[in-house]
Every structure is written in structure tokens, then in C-alpha cells.
């Protein structure tokens, strides 16, 4: 069984015909339960983090200790992959590499407000990683002065992830008074790069290509079932 925890990064995932068992954004306990259900490949893209307990590193280590391939990219998956790649978690994409290499530090850079599952996980705000990818688009750089791009990036970085829309970013940017902000907004939207989606699709491609079978457990470390681990199992296991 191959699972994919996904939501606003790929809101159209149910319509893509993926050869993966789709699950809602991952929460604490979900990876543990997936392992117990028999998963051989687990892809982590989106995950809850603000009003719910996020996926725990310990359960990722548990999955890896059982020979489950755990992949991460784009959002929560990229964060956990950057933290757990030394134990065998597979990180994918530009966002993962940026966190792994210390180019990105703040978890909020991948944060995004979005609609609930009933409304298709539609994104409401723009993650900072997408803003930076868009501003680095060579096609856009050929149309806008470097000072304008710098001002736009500063404006985006200053906004909380719940408030960051392209319109607000443009309107808040420290630009000359004569700037045609409507035209600027149109240019940004026309050259927008959704880096989170790109990375997520790369993860999907790898997850679909991997065999539906567990690998040999790691030989260079052992999973330690601590008291906190046992408490989590008790909390997340239905009575």
C-alpha cells in the first residue's frame, strides 16, 4: 500500500488519477497508523500544524525502522525530510533542499491559509517559497528592475502567511508613487511559479515508481520505544 498525505499543495490530487491512496494532510499519529495498516511507501506533502498536533519525527523514525519508504516534499513533508533525511527519509525538491542546506529556516515560509476539505483545500494565501520562486523567474526579471523585485520580496517577507496575497504584497511594497500596481500584479500572476506544486509532483512521480514493498530495516540505528512514544500510541489508537 502506497499512501500520500496531501491537501492545499495539490488540491486537484483526486482528479489526477494518481496510483496512490490519498489521505488528508498528515497529523500526529497518522504515520504510525499507516505503518500498522501495512503501508510500504508514505508520501508526506501537507500537514496540520497550528490547531492540531503535527506529525511527530518519532513516528517517521518508526516507519523507517520497519522498512517503510517515507518521502517528503513541498510543505510539512519538506520540513520533516530536512530533519529526518539523516535517518533515511527521502527529501525531494527545491524546497526540501533549501531547508536541508540552511537556505530556509522559518517553517512559516511554506505556510498557507486554505479552504477546508469540503471546499477542496483551495489556497487562499500565497506561501513565501512561491513568492520567491516567482520573483526569481528569469522571464519576470527581464521585465522588471532589480529594485522592484527586491521591494516585492521584502513586502512578501513582511506579511504573515495568513495575510500574504499577491494583491496585498503589491499594494504594500515600497515602490515609486508612479508605479502602475495593477499592471505589476498582472505581471506577477502571469509569471507565477508554484514551487510547492512542482516539488509535490516530483514526489508523486517517485512514489508511483517505487515498488509496493517494504525494504530491509536500517542496520546503523535502532528505534527506541520511549515512554512518550507509548503514550502517543495510547492517545491515537482507537479503543
- What's the confidence (pLDDT) of residue 127? 97
Name the pLDDT band for 99 (thresholds 50, 70, 90). very high
* pLDDT tens, position by position, 116-162: 989 989 999 999 999 999 999 999 989 999 999 999 999 999 999 99
- What's the confidence (pLDDT) of residue 52? 83
- What's the confidence (pLDDT) of residue 87? 97
N-terminal to C-terminal alpha carbon distance within the chain = 24
Q: What is the pTM of this model?
A: 0.93
- What's the confidence (pLDDT) of residue 51? 81
Distance CA 91, CA 72 (A): 5
* pLDDT tens, position by position, 59-96: 999 999 999 999 999 999 999 999 999 999 999 999 99
Name the pLDDT band for 239 (thresholds 50, 70, 90). low
Name the pLDDT band for 235 (thresholds 50, 70, 90). confident
Query: HEC states along the chain?
Result: CEEEECCCCCCCHHHCCCCCEEECCECCCHHHHHHHHCCCEEEECCECCCCCCCCCHHHHHHHHHCCCEEEEECCHHHHHHHHHHHHCCEEEHHHHHHHHCCCCCCHHHHCCCECCHHHCCCECCCCHHHHHHHHCCHHHHCCCCHHHHHHHHHHHHHCCCCCCCHHHHHHHCCCCCCCCHHHHHHHHHHCCCCHHHHHHHHHHHHHHHCCCCCCCCCCCCCCCCCHHHHHHHHHHCCC
Name the pLDDT band for 237 (thresholds 50, 70, 90). confident
- List Cβ neighbours of 132 (8 Å cut-off, separation of 6 or more): 153, 156, 195
* pLDDT tens, position by position, 16-75: 999 999 999 999 999 999 999 999 999 999 999 888 889 999 999 999 999 999 999 999
* pLDDT, average across residues 161-185: 95
State the Cα angle at 93 between 92 and 94, rounded to 5°: 145
Amino acid at each position: 500500500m502506497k499512501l500520500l498525505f496531501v491537501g492545499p499543495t495539490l488540491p486537484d490530487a483526486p482528479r489526477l488519477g494518481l496510483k496512490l491512496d490519498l489521505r488528508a494532510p498528515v497529523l500526529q499519529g497518522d504515520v504510525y497508523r499507516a505503518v500498522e495498516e501495512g503501508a510500504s511507501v508514505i508520501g508526506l506533502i501537507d500537514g496540520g500544524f497550528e490547531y492540531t498536533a503535527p506529525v511527530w519525527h518519532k513516528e517517521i523514525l518508526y516507519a523507517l525502522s520497519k522498512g517503510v519508504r517515507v518521502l517528503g516534499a513541498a510543505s510539512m513533508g519538506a520540513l520533516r525530510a530536512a530533519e529526518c533525511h539523516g535517518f533515511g527519509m527521502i527529501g525531494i525538491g527545491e524546497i526540501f533542499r533549501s531547508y536541508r542546506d540552511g537556505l530556509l529556516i522559518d517553517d512559516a515560509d511554506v505556510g498557507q491559509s486554505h479552504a477546508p476539505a469540503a471546499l477542496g483545500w483551495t489556497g487562499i494565501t500565497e506561501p513565501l517559497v512561491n513568492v520567491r520562486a516567482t520573483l526569481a523567474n528569469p522571464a519576470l526579471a527581464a521585465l522588471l528592475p532589480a529594485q522592484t523585485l527586491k521591494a516585492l520580496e521584502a513586502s512578501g517577507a513582511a506579511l504573515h502567511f495568513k495575510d500574504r496575497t499577491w494583491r496585498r504584497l503589491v499594494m504594500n511594497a515600497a515602490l515609486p508613487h508612479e508605479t502602475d500596481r495593477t499592471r505589476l500584479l498582472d505581471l506577477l500572476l502571469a509569471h507565477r511559479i508554484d514551487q510547492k506544486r512542482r516539488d509535490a509532483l516530483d514526489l508523486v512521480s517517485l512514489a508511483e515508481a517505487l515498488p509496493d514493498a517494504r525494504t530491509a530495516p536500517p542496520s546503523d540505528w535502532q528505534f527506541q520505544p520511549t515512554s512518550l512514544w507509548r503514550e502517543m500510541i495510547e492517545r491515537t489508537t482507537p479503543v
